[in-house]
Amino acid sequence: MTDVSFQESSYAPIGTRTLSILVENRFGVLSRIAGLFSARGYNIESLTVAGSYDPALSRITMVVRCEPVLAEQILKQVKKLLDTVEAVDLTDTNCVEREMVLVRVRAPEAKRTTLLTEAEIFRARVVTATPDNYVFEVTGDSNKVEAFLGVVKPYGIDEMVRTGKVALLRNLTPRISDSDETVLSAAG
């Protein structure tokens, strides 16, 4: 029996990759990009699309479970699409990553104070409260969100919604344009 989370040849675990793709806001762009992954049989674990600093552009943040080599190959194909401005793998870079969860947790009267104290450790915000439950909002990296869910699970989670991961490089590195690369390669 083979565990699907391992590569068959080396039995090394396949990790997740965080990909950031800046695209022009045009009909069908997301479908074409997602199609590159589905055509290879890889599932997109989370997908977030939103506007960027420029209203004509959107940022797509994808988390996919695949080998780094495959992510690199797909990003090369994504870069060939006319609507792609930039496509990078942020997995091994110095970046800020966040996601958010809204979770409705059962809160019987006898456990409300303890639940609120535990939630405070995670800086969880109470969005709404009823006599039977709390709805918490937690924002942070994936590990923080997972840890919070682990703490409130014993109370009983009635419902939950979770955003996909968003990520942004901490600082920009100077980019070399194609014309600069030509000059550099001619000089060297």
Each residue's pLDDT tens digit, 101-111: 999 999 999 99
Taking 90 as the threshold, does the pLDDT of residue 156 lie above it?
yes
Averaged confidence pLDDT in the chain:
85
Residue 173 confidence class, pLDDT cut points 50, 70, 90: low
Question: Which pTM was predicted?
Answer: 0.75
**Burial (0-12, 13-18, 19+ Cβ within 10 Å), 106:** middle
Closest CA to 140 of 168, 114, 166, 104: 166
pLDDT tens per residue, range 1-44: 333 333 333 334 578 899 999 999 999 999 988 888 888 777 78
pLDDT tens per residue, range 55-72: 999 999 999 888 888 889
Domains contained in the chain, CATH given: 16-93 (3.30.70.260), 96-167 (3.30.70.1150)
Give me the percent of the chain exceeding a pLDDT of 70: 85
pLDDT of residue 172: 74
